[in-house]
Structure 1
Amino acid sequence: MDFSFSSIIWLFFIFAMLGPMIQQAKLNQKRYQLTRQFERKRGSRLITLIHRQESLSILGIPLSKFINIEDSEQVLRAIRLTPPDMPIDIILHTPGGLVLASEQIARALENHPAKVTAFVPHYAMSGGTMIALSADEIVMDSNAVLGPVDPQIGQYPAASILETVRLKGTAKVDDNTLILADMSSKAIAQVKDFITYLLTDNLGEEKALEISEIFSSGRWTHDYPINFEFLSKLGLPVSRELPAEVFAIMDQYPQPAQRRPSVQYIPLPYGGKEEK
Structure 2
Amino acid sequence: MHQPSFFDLFWLLIIFFSLWPIFQQKNLEWARLRLIREIEKKRKSRVITMIHRQERLAFMGFPIMRFITIEDSERILRAIRMTPDDMPIDLIVHTPGGLALAATQIASALVKHKSPVRVIVPHYAMSGGTLIALAADEIVMDPNAVLGPLDPQLGQFPAPSILKAFEMKKKEMKDEMLILADVAEKSLVQMKNTIIKILTAKGHSQEKAENIADLLTSGYWTHDYPLTAEVIKEMGLNVSTDVPQEVYDLMEFYYQPSGQPSVQYIPVPYGEPKKGSVPLRKPH
TM-score, length basis structure 1: 0.95
| Residue matched to 1:51 | 52
- Partner SS, residue 6 of structure 2: coil
1:233 to partner: Cα distance: 1.2
- Cα distance in structure 1, aligned partners of 2:183 and 2:15: 51
| Residue matched to 2:5 | 2
Residue segments in structure 2 that go unaligned for 5+ positions in a row: none
Residues 22 and 58, structure 2, Cα contact 8 Å, conserved in 1 = no
1:16 to partner: Cα distance: 3.0
Residues 66 and 94, structure 1, Cα contact 8 Å, conserved in 2 = yes
Kindly tell me: are residues 11 and 172 of structure 1, through their superposed partners in 2, closer, same or farther at Cα, counting changes over 3 Å?
farther
Percent identity reads: 54
Residues 17 and 58, structure 1, Cα contact 8 Å, conserved in 2 = no
| Residue matched to 2:184 | 184
| Residue matched to 2:20 | 19
What do you get for the CA RMSD once the two structures are aligned?
1.5
- Cα distance in structure 1, aligned partners of 2:196 and 2:31: 39
Deviates more, 1:105-114 or 1:157-166: 157-166
| Residue matched to 1:171 | 171
- Cα distance in structure 2, aligned partners of 1:136 and 1:29: 30
1:146 to partner: Cα distance: 0.3
| Residue matched to 2:265 | 265
Deviates more, 1:263-272 or 1:67-76: 263-272
- Cα distance in structure 2, aligned partners of 1:16 and 1:166: 61
Residues 56 and 257, structure 2, Cα contact 8 Å, conserved in 1 = yes
- Cα distance in structure 2, aligned partners of 1:7 and 1:273: 52
Which string of whole-angstrom CA distances, capped at 9 and with x for unpartnered residues, describes residues 36-88 of structure 1? 11001111100000001111133100111000000000000000000011100
| Residue matched to 2:155 | 154
Which string of whole-angstrom CA distances, capped at 9 and with x for unpartnered residues, describes residues 195-232 of structure 1? 11111142211001000101111111110000011111
- Partner SS, residue 110 of structure 2: helix
- Partner SS, residue 265 of structure 1: coil
| Residue matched to 1:205 | 206
| AA of the residue aligned to 1:23 | Q
- Cα distance in structure 2, aligned partners of 1:122 and 1:18: 33
- Partner SS, residue 212 of structure 2: helix
| Residue matched to 1:130 | 131
Count of residues in Structure 1 that have an aligned counterpart in Structure 2? 272
Deviates more, 1:175-184 or 1:107-116: 175-184
Residues 16 and 58, structure 1, Cα contact 8 Å, conserved in 2 = no
- Cα distance in structure 2, aligned partners of 1:29 and 1:135: 28
| Residue matched to 2:248 | 247
- Partner SS, residue 47 of structure 1: strand
Residue segments in structure 1 that go unaligned for 5+ positions in a row: none
Kindly tell me: are residues 180 and 7 of structure 1, through their superposed partners in 2, closer, same or farther at Cα, counting changes over 3 Å?
farther
TM-score, length basis structure 2: 0.92
Kindly tell me: are residues 3 and 270 of structure 1, through their superposed partners in 2, closer, same or farther at Cα, counting changes over 3 Å?
same
